[in-house]
Chains A and B, each alone.
Chain A
């Protein structure tokens, strides 16, 4: 994975506990809605809140493993890559996230996808 070059891009969006375990929260940004997910193992991921299928809000899906099931037609999306689980094809943009001292920092520049 590539690391981000410009530090000033990181924005603090909340604490880890703000997101339910196996859940997601929405971050509204000038660049569109971003879904921030928390897995069972407390890993944090961020994707554009738009399913590559028909734009379903991924933040409203069920999180399991490192995947989320889209609430509209049940496509599964990999949280770490934004890619749809085969045989579906498509990709939700992935945003870099970092957790420091329990605080979540998000970069608004997607590092893959659109």
Chain B
């Protein structure tokens, strides 16, 4: 088959990233030709600042060497600027007459530094800060001259100034606004920044307008004069006053441009054969100047070029960091605080610390941090997720580790402080040093990439937060923004929330239909997404959805726990942990009959029969059902146990009958599938012997009724519950419990326990649905009861009677 021809104009960060993404998913689709105006292979422009500062070399920042192009059979033309696109015949031409035909064209021409229209701007010795040749010119000047002036006190200007100063020059930064980085910082933060830069040796002239650049005898620039009449000596002038999308080529080809080449959500220009990504683009009226959004664009464009047609770019949120060693600042969103917002500020100029978080309707909309920036990514997460912070407002500025209830400290600060040998992923035994090395050497940007290369966080997932923090800490200096949404897994571009919404909105009722509709990238998904989809569909359509056995982990598929040696364990349900001699005898007899090697009490007050071979399962279940037991679901992402104390029946402190309450709760909730395992407990008085305050739903009896607690976890990361509310009657306990479980079932991501879910959504979110609005509570509870009608049938009984018999027998026994 004849391959289609793809031509890329612009060998920079966004364009080549698009090719990388494309090669990953459709390596054979196109014959690729690349034109680049610079004489280098693709390099990391961001790292020009460290190169200028002498912290890295040009060789260090090459992303793809020449042989990468060869290996991927890409025809590379470097040092060739494309000057004409013949759209009718689909050919591009360069200055020197080289041409290439295309079926699809990708424009990624970046932007041009903005040059002030003042006399002398064209003099030798006046440079911008954009590419390797600019850095070479600056390095050359720094070895021969003394005085440098940087015009522009923004991010680029400051990085240039810092680099030149480290190269030994005497540097003055001229800035027209009253404070530095006025597009990213408010005044107090900028003053602190200025102080520390001054302490390093930089000089500043603020609110100063440049009038002209003055030539010396040799014809090279020798001074800068200002509109107010002052002037200062300058042998090198760096203009860093802004950038303009480079649309020259696109415009000459008649493509619609408006402060950038205008593209739609699939990154196509007004000529659908021509795509554009990167800084040259204007998307929904926004042109981005940081790489993370451009990489998101790259991903979507690649997807479309591969004709998957999923993926849609809807814009990005960005945040900023300054790459000047020793200076920590962070800014994101609305950092000034527009009308209708509140700002919480901590200002400690003497200590070199400043924090401001801007809130609107109790949600974070912006933040500026100077000095201690470890909370930056946390605030950015809150901002992106739109988390309601009313509950933590008073301690917001003190950071995540001060939230009290999570008790484990801020992950970024924590991982930054960890030694390289610290183990991050216990499941796969991966330590911090390995991960950081992989991120650096292999240039990883996303969680999935880290998982693929190091294995970290690819098993139980409890270290995912740490790995994400490591990514943020390691990559953050270079790539200062993060994607605005996380896909469910490598099989799709869509997030959990999008998938759940699509299921209900489109009324989709099977996994293949959903994958087809949402244009899954793999034909049958993977174990991560299939298990999630199976749950989401089950939750959305309890009466209609046909469960997909092949999309369940082995434990749920065979309704027993797989153990390390491949045998299984079964746990019969003992409601409320309340048993009788008769029940115990029945279990004992069955255990003897089947020669069960180990019988053990679980942490949830149930009996565990361990060491059962798979083919024995139906038989033992049959016996257990006949003795009146149902499955304890101890293997499932499901309601597990209700732990109880003896309460007022026996205990001298007991105020209410916690055991009966526990039994009722278990009768109500058993058999229900949940995003992750779900545990309950009921204590008969505030002494809390049943440990209800580390359960997903905890009930503590008090004189006047019952206290309800949610979101506790006794597992890897201990978390005490949040107090939900106080209720008076037993009926209320049951109704609130049903409503809470249903909100969790309908909202949480698969494999997200209630603790991280409550932290992500905010306690207020839960209270609004379960406590504040009685109508809504009833609606949720009603949906829970409805779904229980279908899920409270015992899987053991059915299998004891022969359902899925093939599961438990070998297909053949050869002798």
Number of interface residues of B (CB under 8 A): 36
Q: Which residues of B contact A11 (CB under 8 A)?
A: 812, 814
Given contacts A14-B812, A108-B814, contact A65 B524 (CB under 8 A): yes
CA of A57 to CA of B555, assembled, Å: 13
22 A-B contact pairs sorted by A residue (CB < 8 Å)? A13-B814, A14-B812, A19-B811, A20-B550, A25-B810, A28-B812, A28-B813, A40-B524, A41-B523, A57-B566, A60-B554, A60-B614, A64-B522, A64-B527, A69-B527, A71-B553, A73-B427, A73-B428, A74-B458, A74-B459, A74-B527, A87-B454
Flag if A23 contacts B550 (CB, 8 Å). yes
B551 at the interface (CB under 8 A from A): yes
The one of B459, B523, B553, B811 in contact with A27, judged by C-beta atoms closer than 8 angstroms, is B811
Among B455, B527, B812, B814: residue with most chain A CB under 10 A? B812
Q: Which residues of A contact B531 (CB under 8 A)?
A: 62
A47 at the interface (CB under 8 A from B): no
CA of A62 to CA of B523, assembled, Å: 14
Q: Which residues of B contact A86 (CB under 8 A)?
A: 452
A93 at the interface (CB under 8 A from B): no
The one of A18, A36, A60, A64 in contact with B526, judged by C-beta atoms closer than 8 angstroms, is A64
B196 at the interface (CB under 8 A from A): no
Interface string of B573-608 (1 = CB under 8 A from A): 000000000000000000000000000000000000
B227 at the interface (CB under 8 A from A): no
Q: Which residues 527-567 in B have Cβ within 8 Å of A in the complex?
A: 527, 530-531, 549-555, 557-558, 562, 564, 566
Flag if B527 contacts A18 (CB, 8 Å). no
CA of A59 to CA of B522, assembled, Å: 22
The one of B428, B453, B814 in contact with A28, judged by C-beta atoms closer than 8 angstroms, is B814
Extra 8 A-B pairs, beta carbons < 8 Å, given A14-B811, A28-B814, A71-B555: A20-B549, A20-B806, A27-B811, A27-B812, A30-B815, A41-B523, A60-B554, A69-B527
B366 at the interface (CB under 8 A from A): no
Interface string of A21-65 (1 = CB under 8 A from B): 111011111100000100111000000000000111100111111
Q: Which residues of B contact A74 (CB under 8 A)?
A: 458-459, 527
CA of A71 to CA of B568, assembled, Å: 12
Q: Which residues of B contact A61 (CB under 8 A)?
A: 527, 554
B293 at the interface (CB under 8 A from A): no
Q: How far is the CB of B41 from chain A (nearest CB, A)?
A: 26
Flag if B530 contacts A64 (CB, 8 Å). yes
Q: Which residue of B lies closest to A63 (CB)?
A: B550
Given contacts A40-B523, A64-B530, A73-B427, contact A22 B562 (CB under 8 A): no
A99 at the interface (CB under 8 A from B): no
Among A29, A36, A39, A64: residue with most chain B CB under 10 A? A64
Q: Which residues of A contact B36 (CB under 8 A)?
A: none
A109 at the interface (CB under 8 A from B): no
B278 at the interface (CB under 8 A from A): no
Q: How far is the CB of A29 from chain B (nearest CB, A)?
A: 4
Flag if A64 contacts B814 (CB, 8 Å). no
A-B Cβ contacts below 8 A, count: 96
The one of A26, A71, A87 in contact with B810, judged by C-beta atoms closer than 8 angstroms, is A26
CA of A36 to CA of B806, assembled, Å: 14
CA of A25 to CA of B553, assembled, Å: 15
CA of A73 to CA of B813, assembled, Å: 27
B163 at the interface (CB under 8 A from A): no
Q: Which residue of A lies closest to B555 (CB)?
A: A71
Q: Which residues 406-445 in B have Cβ within 8 Å of A in the complex?
A: 427-428
Interface residues of B (CB under 8 A from A): 427-428, 452-455, 458-459, 522-527, 530-531, 549-555, 557-558, 562, 564, 566, 614, 806, 810-815
Q: Which residues of A contact B554 (CB under 8 A)?
A: 60-62, 71
Given contacts A61-B554, A62-B530, A64-B522, contact A25 B814 (CB under 8 A): no
Given contacts A40-B524, A56-B566, A65-B522, contact A18 B806 (CB under 8 A): yes
Q: How far is the CB of B328 from chain A (nearest CB, A)?
A: 33
Q: Which residues of A contact B566 (CB under 8 A)?
A: 55-57, 60
CA of A27 to CA of B552, assembled, Å: 22
Q: How far is the CB of B11 from chain A (nearest CB, A)?
A: 29
Q: Which residue of B lies closest to A57 (CB)?
A: B566
Q: Which residues of B contact A22 (CB under 8 A)?
A: 524, 550-551
Interface pairs A-B: 5 shortest CB-CB = A25-B811, A62-B527, A13-B812, A69-B527, A22-B550
Q: How far is the CB of A14 from chain B (nearest CB, A)?
A: 5
Given contacts A64-B525, A69-B526, A88-B455, contact A29 B811 (CB under 8 A): no
The one of B427, B454, B459, B550 in contact with A21, judged by C-beta atoms closer than 8 angstroms, is B550
Q: Which residues of B contact A27 (CB under 8 A)?
A: 810-814
A interface SS class: loop
CA of A110 to CA of B552, assembled, Å: 30
Q: Which residue of B lies closest to A87 (CB)?
A: B455
Q: How far is the CB of A2 from chain B (nearest CB, A)?
A: 23
Q: How far is the CB of B488 from chain A (nearest CB, A)?
A: 14
Q: How far is the CB of B12 from chain A (nearest CB, A)?
A: 30
CA of A74 to CA of B298, assembled, Å: 31
Q: How far is the CB of B461 from chain A (nearest CB, A)?
A: 10
Among B458, B549, B806, B810: residue with most chain A CB under 10 A? B810
Q: Which residues of B contact A25 (CB under 8 A)?
A: 806, 810-811
CA of A40 to CA of B566, assembled, Å: 26
Q: Which residue of A lies closest to B459 (CB)?
A: A74
Q: Which residues of A contact B530 (CB under 8 A)?
A: 62, 64
Q: Which residues of A contact B524 (CB under 8 A)?
A: 22, 39-40, 64-65
Q: Which residues of B contact A65 (CB under 8 A)?
A: 522-524, 526
Q: Which residues of A contact B453 (CB under 8 A)?
A: 87
Q: How far is the CB of B522 from chain A (nearest CB, A)?
A: 6
Q: Which residues of A contact B459 (CB under 8 A)?
A: 73-74
Q: How far is the CB of A100 from chain B (nearest CB, A)?
A: 16
Interface string of A1-24 (1 = CB under 8 A from B): 000000000010110001111110
Q: Which residues of A contact B557 (CB under 8 A)?
A: 60
CA of A23 to CA of B614, assembled, Å: 16
CA of A10 to CA of B661, assembled, Å: 62
Q: Which residue of B lies closest to A50 (CB)?
A: B566
Flag if B811 contacts A26 (CB, 8 Å). yes
Among A11, A57, A62, A86: residue with most chain B CB under 10 A? A62
Q: How far is the CB of A48 from chain B (nearest CB, A)?
A: 13
The one of A62, A63, A64, A87 in contact with B553, judged by C-beta atoms closer than 8 angstroms, is A62
Q: Which residue of A lies closest to B563 (CB)?
A: A72
Flag if B551 contacts A29 (CB, 8 Å). no
Given contacts A13-B814, A73-B459, contact A60 B522 (CB under 8 A): no
Q: How far is the CB of B467 from chain A (nearest CB, A)?
A: 14
Q: Which residue of A lies closest to B811 (CB)?
A: A25
CA of A63 to CA of B553, assembled, Å: 10
Flag if B562 contacts A60 (CB, 8 Å). yes
CA of A61 to CA of B552, assembled, Å: 9
CA of A41 to CA of B566, assembled, Å: 28
CA of A30 to CA of B554, assembled, Å: 25
CA of A55 to CA of B526, assembled, Å: 21
Q: Which residue of B lies closest to A65 (CB)?
A: B522
CA of A88 to CA of B566, assembled, Å: 21
CA of A80 to CA of B452, assembled, Å: 20
CA of A104 to CA of B427, assembled, Å: 37
Q: How far is the CB of B159 from chain A (nearest CB, A)?
A: 35
Q: How far is the CB of A80 from chain B (nearest CB, A)?
A: 15
CA of A30 to CA of B815, assembled, Å: 6
Q: Which residue of A lies closest to B529 (CB)?
A: A64
CA of A99 to CA of B519, assembled, Å: 32
Q: How far is the CB of B613 from chain A (nearest CB, A)?
A: 11
Q: Which residues of B contact A28 (CB under 8 A)?
A: 810, 812-814
CA of A76 to CA of B530, assembled, Å: 15
Q: Which residues of A contact B614 (CB under 8 A)?
A: 60
Q: How far is the CB of A104 from chain B (nearest CB, A)?
A: 8
Q: Which residues of B contact A62 (CB under 8 A)?
A: 526-527, 530-531, 550-554
Q: Which residues of B contact A64 (CB under 8 A)?
A: 522, 524-527, 530
Q: How far is the CB of B720 from chain A (nearest CB, A)?
A: 30
Q: How far is the CB of B609 from chain A (nearest CB, A)?
A: 19
Q: How far is the CB of A43 from chain B (nearest CB, A)?
A: 12
